[in-house]
Structure 1
């Protein structure tokens, strides 16, 4: 029997002509609708906008991305917001282009001044964005450059950023009056290099951020961005923890946003990080009883005190004066308060130092003292602090905040020397009053000294261990900080509003219907329909149920912490009523089986703000913590483990760009853009690292300098994601040609995708032709974004032979043994993740116009093989004393099956909604 990839035999065997034309016509109409933007008569160049979380009550500027149908917007277009109050040009720039050079994604900045011109926040959420033939916003650029500094002026705020040295900013002023000075990064570390005795006092080192480069990345009339890079240096010139900090400025805003990213590069067995922070000085004038300190709780409550209080004393200055001080308003001087206060107010202690410490996600304390050398007294306690505070006088001051403060514990805020002319504020991303950062391996290797022993251990704990691989070297973390200069002491309500803005920055988005019309993010999603049929409504109900369950599990299981926030756990342990947090490869998920894509697809499908925020947190985590950004494993990711970096399987499937494209294009986030660019040459690391857990892989024998073994599934899917993204971001045809070469050479293999893997020429992207005739297929190949990236490629870079190869894979993976035998010369045997592959079958049915494949896809999905059924989506309440505290438990829910179930459900609703079985599904 003839073997190999015979397209004629394949389509003759697995295609049915009956009923094909209507489906092909429907698919063509959908493509035309997306291309032309025809949706209820709306223009393909008029994108509606809405606020993600509703109209904000406090606004300091925002940036967002909008997609456009291919050919709709030429590259030279400017953009305007159009609403009931007229039009407002907006600062805009391209994020991606279509192959014809038209805009695919554009980015836009809305400043407070712009917001007022379109009628305020409520009106902005009802505007449309439209191309404007090169029209740009008026006004000078926010930044000017000199030889030694970048100077920024937003109107209310002025900032000076030096080009070198150890300060992020020299001054930040309001209306020309210097308010903040000498912003600098600091790191505290304990060194135990000379002793393994943990009872001995370690050597404490202090580091300051040393600036290497300062770049004005963007400078427009509405928004400016300054990027600073460097590392932390101590007095001996030792450098640790490289950093990137971006400072964001918007016209009309008195706010500076800082996105702070650092890379871990120390030996965790000897160096223990004790503190990571941003410190600045704040000049204070006036009398001590007119200096005010504020902290905000996550519940919106405000802790408010003066450095020297006038309330509760034996002598009262009067109710009106006490009320004015509590409110932060101006009060008379000591001499004007009367002879008693003029003479004796000096005996009332002035509390110049305050510390807010959040050592866990469920408890914070506020303490204060008069000055260094004196004892601390307890001031307040609570569950969760918002990480927002204020220091100033009735004449103004600074509000400051750390986003996700309690979620990223341990965190801390210090105010020092507020009783002097110059106070300091330190925003600690890692709290020095908490235990030191301990990133040592959680076990000693367990005697796994040989390959055979490591394989045996993998068999019982699902952890792939290899000496030297269980290291955090090169992982990263990004945090967000805001500083806002205020003209007066804010009311509790005003400060609470500022805190809410910091925790959930106002975000404009285009609704799902527009994103779908533009034809972005693959064909495997669509906005939820209004009033779906009963069977579809039931599916929608459970889509919401599984998301809500995981969102609640984050809270109930306390999946928080500096290195953990954003991730979820992999597998449940029903016997202990816990997720398997301490069992090898069953602990942290690290995006396994496309959890991140599931969350983003659910946001796109549902439009739910809480889904966006959960997906955003996962993108921040997975793109930073689960990836080695420097060192011998960079830029590969680490497979799921008890510690995010603990597994020895370093893989492209974890660091894949496709997971993070959603957040980048929806928000234009520069940091995620950097991380995606890290991956463009990641395939070259496969010359040194075998990603497949040492199972059945080997390095190429010939010319290994220019070749690597690359699987057609988890590896190539990640490679193609990186190349596609870089091509559409830059327009550089070199990436297009590498993509085309790899696609053509996959299709040119004897068995197409069923060849399984190949040797890639890294210079061209082309795979060498396999001559062994081997058929290889893995259930994981299509579980890490491969379907989604292939769906985008078929829209963006049509290669007919590749389309045939992909449709063959989508069809035959789930086909009968006879069909597989007829097309490939052999059956594929028992394959796993049948439910997750149902959406591939639906894609093939839609592309080839075969209703039988769509019907089979639904049957395969609802069968739940290696996945989930509705019966699994049941939880029960487990109560004390059987557990530490009451929790909800869904014993049969696991993250692998949930992610694939969610992707399958959303994908089938997008591709085959009319064919959903009317009867109740299991």
Structure 2
């Protein structure tokens, strides 16, 4: 590609928007014509965070394309603001039904000198020179980035065999470690027994091998003697010319929570050391760019001064002059200066950390430093180079810990603990004994007081998972304090490229259920102000109420207790939200509308949490999720509405994250689990009769089918699996063929074909929950993707009639609907019907329903009270009448009414 002349940022953005304007528009608003390969189109990209660190290891991002715009196997080039060609690796992640490209993913290596925007163009790109080299034999896989060489074993307990830089061994024997206790804590006179496990490799796959980005996937379990616990999935990410390895570490809980108390989960590596003890350096990052910097054997503060040249070198991590140049009164007594070989950075809570050190095992610890929120990066090395290591979301995912051991010997050990052994052991036992709820009647009665759906054995954590992110980096020299602080910040806030909201909206992805922010209409600006207020309020609530921790980070609470001035963290079904009424979708659509970095990061954390912790990935409930509860897995209502792929698709397509791809793939055969874990078993839903082969399941057209449809659509558009597509289309057509379409509510599905049996005519079934867990959004997308007129007619009918008058309902359905709820949230359905029918009266009705606020938020308010002690334990903000259900549904209704009926807003 030719280099282009330099242009100003103003001109760059203007040109990019002009080019992007050449793209054909695709949305759920109207069908689009096929287009040939883009002629002049280009997509302007921006960095998610305004300040991009030079220490990023590489970046991967996703871009959508309108239907018919790009042919399969299209090539791409990338251009910087100053006209330079940036080598890029590209691949397709989703397709449209006509075979054209729907989503692509792209990767670039570290780009320390790019601070402005980029342009992605669908055109042939020049070949990447000096790309990653991957070699493989029966026992090992070796990855050479051009900066480091990492060798990974295919079997055994040592995952990373060795990491080298410039031919120098920097780390070796990388292994997963696990500590398990027989009880959470010891009573007087009792003794805790601890077992130690190490990760055992089952399989290693080269998941992606490209010149810029290569991914290895390692699976296995932690093993000790004849016992195995906590299956793991570890991915190692490598980028061209990078000296770092990104580690995505997932554990799946399969222990007996009443006997096996996890007291440590980590990744351990051995680090060879050769330099003199006074030339070995330790670094830890704290808060506000703070750095703890010491040498294993300190030469400062002594009774005898070794001289400024010596102390300056040690303080700055440089090699000191030879000891022959030290003053005699120092050099002859170096062996009397203690060498501290062990260091620990420990973050037990979200608001406190400590650093300790000791000379070696068997001797006491010295308190070295304290602080609040450590950024969680450490380093061990010398002027010749060293090993840097960090955990992302270190303090947010407490208890976390970084250990350096035996740094006074020739072989130190580094451990990155995502569950800190210095903390109390993990106790996942259910929080009460059932309180006598041994019959359905008692369980149903208890639901009336605490809103908790309890059932014995259903509140166990078996099958839940947790994914952590780490980074390993091999440096050529001990970094300056400012440099290691910058690296730590880059680990905590990885560089991410995104397109502009206006472009996202133009492509018609995600059902066209959002529009970009546009100024000029005072009524729309008022809605945007309220959208901003609700997000900002919840963003602050996360911090004020400390919604952090290994199992909690990413979730929010369901309901507020105004009397106690706290969220109902201890009240049955009112505690953790677990995606109730589509909190995830609210955040993701809000990001798509605004492009705000803080929204993306909160939605990212929620996607990681709700997709892992709130879902059973193995065991009898797999792959269903758990309804809201005091404990994330505690509710006996195991539901597809929680595990739905609809909540994961945004993050996957925007980042190409392979782990989230795994989570969505788990959901493809979820219909089979509904045979044994019947969603509505407590309200009369039963398993199909006459099903000897287990080929049938009772499935609702709302939360159940909506989740299945999102999984099947995503799998087909990702992989082209025609069997999955056939099941999806069969289900759509047989819902449309029902006597009352979506108002039929539930029917028996053939699990092999996806076809629903015809239900009895005249029987209506409708729930206020059916459309508020992603069904509205996925139906909009299905209509945009597939041309099935009868399905569109059935869905538009549901959208038009749900909030209609009883007379209108009776005229069409033969009877009116009763016990409906969430009228405000369903205003977005009315708006969609208005769009598809081109009906201005329906559009006006949608806005009336939205502003009336039925079962939602009636009046927009920005009133917040600031509460302090002694009324509350810590200062907090409290907004009147806030409910997560109401806010999520208000936000989705607001954005979709703007997208579908915005021109009718007055």
Normalising TM by the smaller chain, what interval? over 0.9
Whether the 8 Å contact between 2:397 and 2:550 is mirrored in structure 1 is yes
Work out whether residues 96 and 106 of structure 1, in 8 Å CA contact, stay in contact via their aligned partners in 2: yes
Aligned to 2:8: none
Q: 1:874 offset after TM fit, Å?
A: 2.2
Structure 1 position 136, deviation (Å): 4.5
Could you tell me which of 616, 619, 624 is aligned with 2:612? 624
1:273 alignment partner in structure 2: 262
Query: Which secondary structure does the structure 2 equivalent of 1:804 belong to?
Result: helix
1:865 aligns with one of 854, 869, 884:
854
CA distance in 1, matches of 2:33, 2:623: 35
Aligned twin of 2:291: 302
**Any conservation in 1 of the 2:182–2:194 contact (CA below 8 Å)?**
yes
Residues 517-560 of structure 1 show CA distances to partners (whole Å, capped at 9, x for unaligned) of: 2211112101111x231111111111000000000000000000
Give the match for residue 203 of structure 2: 213
- Residue in structure 2 matched with residue 686 of structure 1 by the alignment: 674
Deviates more, 1:74-83 or 1:215-224: 74-83
Partner of 1:49: helix, strand, or coil? Answer: strand
Task: Tell me the distance in 2 between the aligned counterparts of 1:324 and 1:786.
Answer: 63
Q: Which one of 517, 520, 524 corresponds to residue 513 of structure 2?
A: 524
Aligned partner (choices 892, 899, 910) of residue 888 of structure 2: 899
Q: Deviations over 1:853-890 (max 9, x none)?
A: 11111111111111113445421011100110111011
After superposing the two structures, state which structure 1 stretch, 294-303 or 373-382, moved more. 294-303
Moved more, 585-594 or 858-867: 858-867
1:565 aligns with 553
- The alpha carbon displacement at 1:91 in A equals 1.3
The match for 1:225 is 215
Q: Secondary structure in 2 aligned to 1:207?
A: strand
**Counterpart selection for 1:653 from 633, 641, 647:** 641
The question of whether the paired residues in 2 share the 8 Å contact of 1:292 and 1:328 is answered with yes
Residue 470 to residue 373, structure 1, CA distance change in 2 (3 Å): same
If asked which structure has higher relative contact order (CA below 8 Å, sep 6+), I would say 1
Map of 1:639 onto structure 2: 627
Match of 1:68 among 65, 71, 76: 65
The C-alpha deviation readout for 1:369-395, integer Å capped at 9, x for no partner, is 001110001001000111111111011
The separation in 2 between residues aligned to 1:398 and 1:826, in whole angstroms, is 71
In structure 2, the residue matched to 1:673 is: 661
The 10-residue stretch of structure 1 (100-109 or 809-818) with the greater mean CA deviation from structure 2: 100-109
Match of 1:369 among 337, 358, 368: 358
Paired with 2:415 and 2:901, the residues of 1 have a C-alpha distance of 55
Unaligned 5+ runs, structure 2: 1-24
SS in structure 2 at match of 1:694: helix
d(CA) in 2 for partners of 1:695 and 1:129? Answer: 53
Question: Is it true that 1:579 corresponds to 2:567 in the alignment?
Answer: yes
**Over aligned residues, Cα RMSD in angstroms?**
1.9
Q: What is the CA distance between 1:352 and its match in structure 2?
A: 0.7
Deviation at 1:321, TM superposition (A): 2.4
Alignment-derived partner of residue 699 in structure 1:
687
User: Shift of the alpha carbon at 1:142?
Assistant: 2.4
**Which of 77, 80, 102 is the matching residue for 1:80?**
77
Matches within 5 A, 1:638-787: 638-692=626-680, 694-703=682-691, 705-771=694-760, 773-787=762-776
Match of 1:601 among 565, 583, 589: 589
Return 5+ residue gaps in structure 1 as ranges: 1-25, 918-922
1:695 deviation in Å? 1.1
**Cα shift at 1:196:** 10
Could you give the per-residue CA deviations for residues 798-855 of structure 1, whole angstroms, max 9, x where no partner exists? 2111111001000000101110010011111241000000011001001101111111
1:46 pairs with 19, 42, 59, which one?
42
Secondary structure of the 2:246 match is strand
C-alpha distance 28-132 of structure 1, shift in aligned 2 (>3 A): closer
Report Cα offsets for 1:109-157 as digits up to 9, x if no partner. Answer: 1012xx47xxx322xx422112234865344542111121001111111
Evaluate the alpha carbon distance shift between residue 44 and residue 466 of structure 1 in structure 2; reply closer, same or farther with a 3 A threshold: farther
TM-score scaled by length of structure 1: 0.93
> In 2, are the aligned partners of 1:34 and 1:519 still within 8 Å (CA)?
no
1:720-749 Cα distance to aligned partner (Å, 9 max, x none): 000000010111221221111111111111
Given that 2:824 and 2:856 are in contact with CA atoms closer than 8 Å, whether structure 1 keeps it comes out as yes
Q: 2:581–2:889: 8 Å Cα contact kept in structure 1?
A: yes
CA contact (8 A) 1:56 1:506 kept: yes
Indicate the residue corresponding to 2:420 in structure 1.
Answer: 431
* Closer/same/farther in 2, CA of residues 817 and 55 from structure 1, 3 Å limit: same
Alignment of 1:224-623 (within 5 A): 224-234=214-224, 236-529=225-518, 531-623=519-611
Distance in 1 (alpha carbons) for counterparts of 2:486 and 2:75: 33
Q: Once the 2 structures are TM-superposed, how far is the Cα of residue 439 of structure 1 from its aligned partner?
A: 0.1
TM-score (norm 2): 0.95
Judged with a 3 Å threshold, the aligned counterparts in structure 2 of structure 1 residues 290 and 345 are, in CA distance, closer, same or farther, namely: same
- 1:713–1:781: 8 Å Cα contact kept in structure 2? yes
Deviates more, 1:253-262 or 1:517-526: 517-526
Moved more, 718-727 or 297-306: 297-306
Q: CA deviation at 1:504?
A: 0.7
Query: What is aligned with 1:12?
Result: none
Match for residue 156 of structure 1? 147
Counterpart for residue 832 of structure 2: 843
* 1:56 alignment partner, one of 52, 57, 65: 52
Partner of 2:15 in structure 1? none
908-917 or 381-390: which moved more?
Answer: 908-917
Structure 2 contact 207–216 (Cα < 8 Å) conserved? yes
1:147 equivalent in structure 2 = 138
C-alpha displacement of 1:641: 0.2
DSSP-derived class of the 2:661 partner: helix
- Comparing 777-786 with 886-895, greater Cα deviation is found at 886-895
- Residue equivalent to 2:99: 101
* Count of residues in correspondence between the two structures: 879
How far apart, CA to CA, are the structure 1 residues paired with 2:683 and 2:128? Answer: 58
CA contact (8 A) 2:130 2:146 kept: no
The answer (yes or no) to whether the contact 1:76–1:134 under 8 Å persists in 2 is: no
**Structure 1 residues 692 and 888: alpha-carbon distance in aligned structure 2, compared to 1, 3 A threshold:** same
Seen in structure 2, the aligned counterparts of structure 1 residues 871 and 96 have a Cα distance that, compared at 3 Å, is: closer
In structure 1, which of residues 200, 207, 221 is the aligned counterpart of residue 190 of structure 2? 200
Change (3 A) 1:593 1:728: same
Q: Could you tell me how far apart the structure 1 residues matched to 2:448 and 2:718 are?
A: 43
- Paired residue for 2:785, among 796, 799, 802? 796
> Match of 2:16?
none
Distance in 2 of aligned mates of 1:345 and 1:733: 73
Q: Aligned residue for 2:162?
A: 171
Cα distance in 2 for partners of 1:315, 1:593 equals: 68
